[in-house]
Structure 1
Amino acid sequence: MSQESLPATVFRGGTTKGIYFTREHLPADRDEWDELLLKTFGSPDPKQLDGIGGSHSTASKAMIISAPEDDDVDVEYLFAQVGIEKPVVDWGGNCGNLTYAVGPYAMERGLVDPETEGGEVNLTLRNENTGTVVEQSVPVTDEGDPQYRGDFRVYGVPGTGARIGSRFLDPAGSVTGSLFPTGNRIDTLSVPGVGEVEASLVDVSSPCVFVRAEAVGMTAAELPKEIDSDPDLLETLEAIRSQAAARLGFVDDASDATAESPGIPKMAVVGEKQPYQSSIGEEVTPDEYDLLARIMSMQKAHHAYSITGSMCTATAALFSGTIPNEFLANDDTDQVTIGHPKGTLTVGVGREGDDVRYTEAARTARQIMHGDLFYLPSQ
């Protein structure tokens, strides 16, 4: 049977790479999308050899972009996390890093025709997975095209690029409807094979579960290769995450979490500040960051730190009574810098009492290719 094709674009957004589609180019039947995406990325296969995937969760993601049905926003987008070794597509959350390429993609594909103000374009985006609205500022060239060259550095991305700012509005309760979905700032999870583990379950931009590093035999200064090479640790972290998924109602049985809700909640570990060597060979000292943390992505250690996860981490740290707050020296601030495996990441938090008005951070993005994506249709 001959192959079929559709237009697709590869973009790097922040420390993540993904495939972007315009919604009208996908099959009209939404039920066909999962199979199409699995074929696109070459899943299930650990090397994703027969597709365009990068054999890692940060390169096995898709964004579907569309013009809005109303005038409230400029662009709408839908995120999909595509499994690598398992034939699963998780539509449960958002990818903050890839969000930074949504504006540039919409501009490149002619989905928007915005006015330039002061060398940049200001767009309003809506994530369909969570309903979150994002205000995004995209630098432009003299011709009005997205600007990719610049001197802004993102730890985890080679070189520098143009600074793209994104502010996530009213991000609390993105999936569960509540900042603290269980009503508690610390819960005790009974984890088979592990025992009782204290955890903070927080939902800002994306639901996350936070544990103390010492509770799982870590320091939170470990590099991804250390975490991923320890099968017992990976099993422990996933067992905790699975119990949290059940507690949050994402699955009926914790044993189904890896298959049915692999992307959310995200699993994060926080620990005492200390100097450490980054995975790119640079020394990171305690005075360079506020909070030491590591976060997981699809059952493996994230090579840097997810944006939605960082926004949840930073916000959780500013609320007394949470586990992240225990490790933050000063919570009277509107920004938190996280020490992660590649370096640091600063997140701004607009908070009024117990209300989280916004979270924000800056990233870079770059269009890598655009063309025809070929795939074998179902027989």
Structure 2
Amino acid sequence: MSDVPQVKTVPQVKIPATYMRGGTSKGVFFSLEDLPEPAQLPGEARDKLLLRVIGSPDPYGKHTDGMGGATSSTSKTVIVSRSGQPDHDVDYLFGQVAIDRPFVDWSGNCGNLTAAVGAFAISKGLVDPNRIPDNGIATVRIWQVNIRKTIVARIPISNGEVQETGDFELDGVTFPAAEVQVEFLSPVDASEAMFPTGQLVDDLDVPGIGCFKATMINAGIPTIFLNAQDIGYTGTELQDVINGDEEALKRLETIRAHGAVQMGLVDHIDQAAHRQHTPKLAFVGKPADYKASSGKAVSANDVDLLVRAMSMGKLHHAMMGTAAVAIATAAAIPGTLVNLAAGGGERQVVRFGHPSGTLKVGASASLVKGEWVVEKAVMSRSARVLMEGWVRVPGDAF
């Protein structure tokens, strides 16, 4: 008889899931009702489950033992359910999973994955069939739970099913697909301050690093905009230039932490480490020629301005959808750093250059009783299902 101790094991559980690309991001999508009962409510069980699905925390930074892709764009999770809000079809909850820490950030939205929510909801029967045409455009009214905002996604339908293929090209995505128009309605609540400091441009004093002009805005996602030249950049940088420079990453994170305090999002800079998803830090520059990460030439004549954005401590490979809302909003308001980089004046639409190419975004802004109000921000993305079936996790993981 063997003296080898018997290790008690538990079987894996399988959970219905869909792996989707939305815009320039990828994530694992779940219907709320398909999650194991302990994970159907917010809390430790849900966070542990999603961490195990993605494969975090991973000290190797590879997500080899999970569905994540070890980048801020690919370590994402989405939970969708029928909406409890009047005049909405579905509730959409987004969880940004940290790569190297046991942490799920629920503080903000993912604008890119928003483009996939409508298609997922339709395919899972979460939208009233009477609202889906045999051919044409289905309007899906989404309640974004994290930020409590309404988003409208216009999903192309062909022969009663979501159309995923098409000729719409999105820089940062390899293949063309069907165009999905996304509208972020009233991205700033009337009860909130679009500019939390009350200024279009602030002085952001960061001890040991410098004092910078900054536009701090709550629209889409809290974002801090700096001038590229003020921090030693041009706005034409690609990922390797910044992500390969550890000192630069530390410096940028320190600036972000001080900006978070000045925006009132945290009380102390140390707390910013536990809020990686928000605020975003971005820097802007005037139009210039550069080569995108694909090798595609971007001409200064192709863009109104250049924008580079940090996400989860790294330079993003393209542009986060929520940050694009912030860009569109800030560009529409004369006097912000984004607006000035684009040439100033009144602007409803801008095309900006990012590391993967260009993106066109628009926003409707107006001055009401001395306060700026934004009715909506609009952009086009694409989405498609990459795989569907079940994900499996050990039964004791959550």
TM range (shorter): over 0.9
Q: Which moved more, 1:131-140 or 1:109-118?
A: 109-118
Partner of 1:367: 385
* 1:52 Cα deviation from its structure 2 partner: 0.8
Q: 1:202 aligns with which of 205, 209, 217?
A: 217
Q: 1:159 aligns with which of 175, 191, 202?
A: 175
SS at match of 2:162: coil
Alignment of 1:226 with 2:238, yes or no, is no
Partner of 1:141: 158
Partner of 1:279: 293
* 1:378 Cα deviation from its structure 2 partner: 3.1
Alignment of 1:23 with 2:32, yes or no, is yes
Q: Tell me how far apart the structure 1 counterparts of residues 341 and 244 of structure 2 sit (CA, whole Å).
A: 26
Indicate conservation of the 8 Å contact 2:134/2:158, yes or no. no
Alignment of 1:346 with 2:384, yes or no, is no
- Residue segments in structure 1 that go unaligned for 5+ positions in a row: none
SS at match of 1:140: strand
SS at match of 2:229: helix
Partner of 1:39: 52
> Which amino acid counterpart does residue 147 of structure 1 have in structure 2?
Q
Question: Could you tell me the TM-score, scaled by structure 2's length?
Answer: 0.91
* 1:371 Cα deviation from its structure 2 partner: 1.1
SS at match of 1:153: coil
Indicate conservation of the 8 Å contact 1:66/1:75, yes or no. yes
Q: 1:92 aligns with which of 107, 116, 125?
A: 107
> Which amino acid counterpart does residue 154 of structure 2 have in structure 1?
S
* 1:39 Cα deviation from its structure 2 partner: 0.7
> Which amino acid counterpart does residue 333 of structure 2 have in structure 1?
F
Q: 1:235 aligns with which of 226, 244, 250?
A: 250
Partner of 1:305: 319
Q: Tell me how far apart the structure 1 counterparts of residues 85 and 238 of structure 2 sit (CA, whole Å).
A: 45
How many pairs align? 376
Question: Could you tell me the TM-score, scaled by structure 1's length?
Answer: 0.96
Indicate conservation of the 8 Å contact 1:41/1:53, yes or no. yes
* 1:119 Cα deviation from its structure 2 partner: 1.3
> Which amino acid counterpart does residue 88 of structure 1 have in structure 2?
F
Alignment of 1:316 with 2:330, yes or no, is yes
Partner of 1:293: 307
Q: 2:12 aligns with which of 3, 21, 30?
A: 3
Greater Rg by CA:
2
Indicate conservation of the 8 Å contact 2:333/2:347, yes or no. no
Q: 1:357 aligns with which of 375, 380, 384?
A: 375
Indicate conservation of the 8 Å contact 1:173/1:181, yes or no. no
RMSD over aligned CA atoms reads 1.5
- Residue segments in structure 2 that go unaligned for 5+ positions in a row: 1-9
Output one character per residue of 1:168-195: Cα deviation in whole Å (capped at 9) or x when no partner. 1000259x92210111112222213302
Indicate conservation of the 8 Å contact 2:17/2:391, yes or no. yes
Indicate conservation of the 8 Å contact 2:332/2:365, yes or no. no
* 1:333 Cα deviation from its structure 2 partner: 2.6
> Which amino acid counterpart does residue 77 of structure 2 have in structure 1?
A
SS at match of 2:46: helix
Indicate conservation of the 8 Å contact 2:196/2:264, yes or no. no
Partner of 2:280: 266
Partner of 1:130: 147
Partner of 2:5: none
Q: Which moved more, 1:276-285 or 1:245-254?
A: 245-254
Alignment of 1:212 with 2:221, yes or no, is no
Q: Tell me how far apart the structure 1 counterparts of residues 174 and 189 of structure 2 sit (CA, whole Å).
A: 33
> Which amino acid counterpart does residue 366 of structure 2 have in structure 1?
E
Output one character per residue of 1:328-354: Cα deviation in whole Å (capped at 9) or x when no partner. 125323111111111110111112222
Indicate conservation of the 8 Å contact 2:226/2:284, yes or no. yes
SS at match of 1:233: helix
> Which amino acid counterpart does residue 314 of structure 1 have in structure 2?
A
> Which amino acid counterpart does residue 376 of structure 2 have in structure 1?
Y
SS at match of 1:126: strand
Partner of 1:169: 185
Partner of 2:67: 52
* 1:317 Cα deviation from its structure 2 partner: 2.1
**Structure-to-structure mapping, 1:318-337, within 5 angstroms:** 318-337=332-351
Q: Tell me how far apart the structure 2 counterparts of residues 76 and 15 of structure 1 sit (CA, whole Å).
A: 22
Partner of 1:187: 202
Q: Tell me how far apart the structure 1 counterparts of residues 125 and 288 of structure 2 sit (CA, whole Å).
A: 47
Q: Which moved more, 1:249-258 or 1:129-138?
A: 249-258
* 1:58 Cα deviation from its structure 2 partner: 0.1
> Which amino acid counterpart does residue 59 of structure 1 have in structure 2?
T
Q: Tell me how far apart the structure 2 counterparts of residues 332 and 243 of structure 1 sit (CA, whole Å).
A: 30
Q: Which moved more, 1:56-65 or 1:44-53?
A: 44-53
Output one character per residue of 1:239-268: Cα deviation in whole Å (capped at 9) or x when no partner. 11111112223222102212x110101110
* 1:117 Cα deviation from its structure 2 partner: 7.2
Q: Tell me how far apart the structure 2 counterparts of residues 117 and 5 of structure 1 sit (CA, whole Å).
A: 33
Partner of 1:251: 266
Indicate conservation of the 8 Å contact 1:132/1:205, yes or no. no
SS at match of 2:361: strand
Output one character per residue of 1:252-289: Cα deviation in whole Å (capped at 9) or x when no partner. 2102212x110101110111211001100011011111
